[in-house]
Amino acid sequence: MSSPSLPNFSDITAAADRLRGVAVRTPLLSNYYLDQSTGRSIWLKAESLQHTGSFKFRGAYNRLCQLSPDERERGVIAWSSGNHAQGVALAAAMLGIRARIVMPADAPDIKRTNTRALGAEIVSYDRYTEDRELISRELARRDGAIIVPSYDDPHIIAGQGTMALELFQDCPTPLDALLVCTSGGGLLAGAALAAGGLSPKTALFSVEPEGFDDHAKSFGQGRRVSNDAAVNSLCDALLAPTPGELTFAINQSRLAGGLVVTDTEVQSAMAFAFERLRLVLEPGGAVALAAVLAGKVAPNYQHIAVVLSGGNVDPVIFHESCRNGSEQSR
């Protein structure tokens, strides 16, 4: 079977047309304290305020709304730890499509509860002993359902790219750099395509949690590499084992580099977002902000945009993270 063709900038603009009036055009924020404390001009794209609490709805709706009547009748299957699950569930509910989501049994309760509330069926699996893709493909083979990947799909990538399209359209000044929370690379690839069309001089950086920095390592080696299966991270939304095939093909030649943050730095960023920005961020949604606050960005980048990619966090984890983050910053 041939690989799907890579999306381009025109696919991003077409996705924006499909999402107009459906997705939230999330705000681009600035904060005086953040600018003063970093000595830079920082712009924050608050995708935590998107439908279902993350950017994932964009790609899911762009994929599902293009299904044929026969494909819609067969239903869809996706695998996700929570954010893609909720995006697919909502898009499917809007379009009248049956959705099943293969989710790890240890996914945050809030993500499982919200996915069910949107009408999707959950198929649980053990992320340490079972393969979610094999489970999904067997279900699809059995009854003909359509698989909706979380990142390695041209329609998903194009939909995610509408985030950056809005960002570049709304930002009042040229940007030196754009920092993107990264797992499989779909949001990053969409941002790369949008930057190529609207702001080609902006340096693009992936940001990943320590131990799951497969993009940073892959860019350095010039090939896709995998993370150590034995490691773990607080950032449950960013645990993809390796960059996607399509996403890496797009990102490899377009990125300025990969940044890596620790769970401790992520907790500090979550506390900062709550205390100074009045925003709730999940750990994976805070990694790009963490990179700025921890001084991971070279000083020559003075005008920076940061993607706050999600806010779906268990209340207990949020409380503990903010408490720890506040104590660390004292």
Residue entry with tokens 């990947």: 149
Question: 3-state DSSP call for residue 110?
Answer: helix
Quick one: which of 289, 288, 271 has its CA closest to 280?
Answer: 271
Catalytic positions are 56, 309
Closest CA to 53 of 85, 28, 79: 85
Q: Which two tokens stand for residue 273?
A: 């977002």
Two tokens at 41? 């001009």
Beta 99-104 vs 76-79: how paired, if at all? parallel
Q: Which of 190, 154, 149 is nearest to 45 (CA)?
A: 190
Residue 272's nearest CA partner among 26, 31, 27, 48 is 31
Query: In this structure, are residues 59 and 87 in contact, taking their beta carbons and an 8 Å threshold?
Result: yes
